[in-house]
Amino acid sequence: MNVKDLKKMFLQFWQNDNKKIVFIRDISVILLTIFVVLLLLWTYTGQWFAAPIVAIESGSMEHTPPMFSTYPPFGRLGTIDAGDMVLVQKVYSRNDIAVHGGDLGGAQAKNGWQSYRDYGDVIIYHPDGNMKITPVIHRAMCWVEVEINGHQRRYTIKEFGIYNETSIGPIPELGLDLSVKPDWEHSGFLTKGDNNELFDNLPDQGIYESSQPVKLEWISGKARLEIPWFGTINLFFADILNGTNNVGNVHGDCLTCLGIVIAILVSIPISLDIKDYLEQKKKDKV
């Protein structure tokens, strides 16, 4: 069988008006489209045969309204809000993650890399490496080097000018207004939600169950891009299955935007069907 024969068979299949063939053709196009989209996502994120997208459940990464404004921009584009989705790009080394830092180091000091309207990368990780709990999506603030000598621990955080100290703080960027002596057992990233006052990695004080600095192997990836509002659909079905109410965290303006986009997407094929129907009816009259 040569190329011409294959082309002829394809054209016969593509132009066939038989209802069964049309159904098979439509399903094939849908499956092929899904595969191509997944292939592009896997290639970009490096998350081969794994979920390259996560839905945002809470408002811990939301941003406060702009100066002299009561509310954030309608639809809340550009930041990570409940009901959004983000791509999860795989990281392979510590250098793949840009930390927020402070005046002495990191992206803020260099006026460098920004994501979601603040300095540094946002990472997705499992607190304390526990794969059974929901991963956290927060900003990587700095790297802490932990040295243990007997019962004494010493900490180095270059971004905040801390070198071989037994305590850390005060560090306003982490929400620390005094010095503390955490019992950290290893080096790692310290993280914080943009909308949270305190960073995550203090026992009995952190926002989540994470009490240790984040190891590289706990990190699923770093957040890239923003797919606004559509994560609400995922949250809706997850709430039904798990008995939760994460959809309740999604703001009204985001729900409105989602409704408008869905209405537009649904109306397009309906409009095309109506157009075809009217054209066919016009031909029948002639």
Please report whether residue 261 resides in a domain: no
Of the residues 216, 231, 246, the one at which a domain ends? 246
pLDDT in the model for residue 275: 75
CB 127 within 8 A of CB 208: yes
Q: Which domain holds residue 114?
A: 53-246
What is the mean pLDDT of the segment spanning 19-43?
Answer: 83
Higher pLDDT, 245 or 131: 245
What is the mean pLDDT of the segment spanning 14-41?
Answer: 81
> Is there a single domain that holds both residue 21 and residue 125?
no
**Banded model confidence at residue 204, pLDDT cuts 50, 70, 90:** low
**Banded model confidence at residue 1, pLDDT cuts 50, 70, 90:** low
CB 182 within 8 A of CB 166: no
Closest by CA to 11, choosing from 180, 3, 190, is 3
pTM confidence score: 0.85
What domain count does the chain have?
2
Residue 146 has pLDDT above 90, yes or no: yes
> Is there a single domain that holds both residue 122 and residue 79?
yes
> Is there a single domain that holds both residue 213 and residue 194?
yes
Q: Give residues with Cβ within 8 angstroms of 249, minimum separation 6.
A: 57, 58, 59, 82, 83
The tens digit of pLDDT for each residue in 94-145 reads: 999 999 999 999 999 999 999 999 999 999 999 888 888 889 999 999 999 9
Distance CA 174, CA 213 (A): 13
Please report whether residue 186 resides in a domain: yes
> Is there a single domain that holds both residue 234 and residue 115?
yes
Residue 206 has pLDDT above 70, yes or no: no
What is the mean pLDDT of the segment spanning 256-273?
Answer: 89
